[in-house]
Amino acid sequence: MSIKSWGVSNEWSLFLDRDGVINQRIFNGYVTRVEDFHFCKGAVESIASLSNIFSQTFVVTNQQGVGKKIMTECNLKEIHTYMCDSVVRLGGRIEKVYFASNLKDELPDNRKPLPVMALMAKSEYPSVDFEKSIMVGDTDSDILFGKNLGMKTIRVLSEEPIEVEADLNVSGLEELLKIIQNEIID
């Protein structure tokens, strides 16, 4: 499927998962400190460029390491400040980072694929239209999150098993940026 057929414009919003999309994912572990947070190749530059194409850019991330008490919410906010500041230094922006710190199946459950984080974004940024949004993630829960809200979905391929097909697969945010530049920006 071609992104060009989606009708993407500067009215669209971009939702990004964090681990495995923005930073290198630690399988069977957690990024608990800024020192453990390593951007995926070209991710920070790509986010900076993408954020100037889309009307809003959000990060939506499940972070049950906080619920497991492996890290604190303060640790998580330090990581997210570092991530956002890195994008800003390159002329981009992330409007807001939404995170679900609860354990799986713990109530209230804000974790993807449930729509809670997207609904929070819509509440704070009323111009968000899920039918004019793209969700980029590396797991089935990311893709289901986007599909359940009527978003277009893009999967960053990894060693994560696939049971739910995305609208498009890419190797990373660098490839996504190139596709958008080639298909949408004239």
Task: Tell whether 2 is covered by a domain.
Answer: no
Task: Tell whether 71 is covered by a domain.
Answer: yes
More confident residue, 23 or 160: 23
Is position 17 annotated as part of the catalytic site? yes
Domain extent at residue 76: 9-181
Task: Tell whether 3 is covered by a domain.
Answer: no
What pLDDT sits at residue 1?
A: 59
Tell me, what CATH number does 109's domain have? Answer: 3.40.50.1000
- The answer to whether the bond into 108 is cis (omega within 30° of 0) is yes
Task: Tell whether 1 is covered by a domain.
Answer: no
For residue 62, name the pLDDT band (cuts at 50, 70, 90). Answer: very high
Task: Tell whether 25 is covered by a domain.
Answer: yes
Structure tokens at 172: 């990373």
Task: Tell whether 66 is covered by a domain.
Answer: yes
pLDDT one-digit tens code per residue, 4-46: 899 999 999 999 999 999 999 998 889 999 999 999 999 999 9
Residue found by looking up tokens 């964090």 in the block: 18
Total structural domains in the chain?
Answer: 1
Task: Tell whether 81 is covered by a domain.
Answer: yes
Task: Tell whether 153 is covered by a domain.
Answer: yes
Task: Give every CB contact of residue 137 below 8 A, 6+ residues apart in sequence.
Answer: 16, 17, 20, 21, 112, 143, 145, 146, 153, 154, 155, 156
pLDDT one-digit tens code per residue, 123-158: 999 999 999 999 999 999 999 999 999 999 999 999
Is position 129 annotated as part of the catalytic site? no
In the set 19, 138, 140, 142, the catalytic residue is: 19
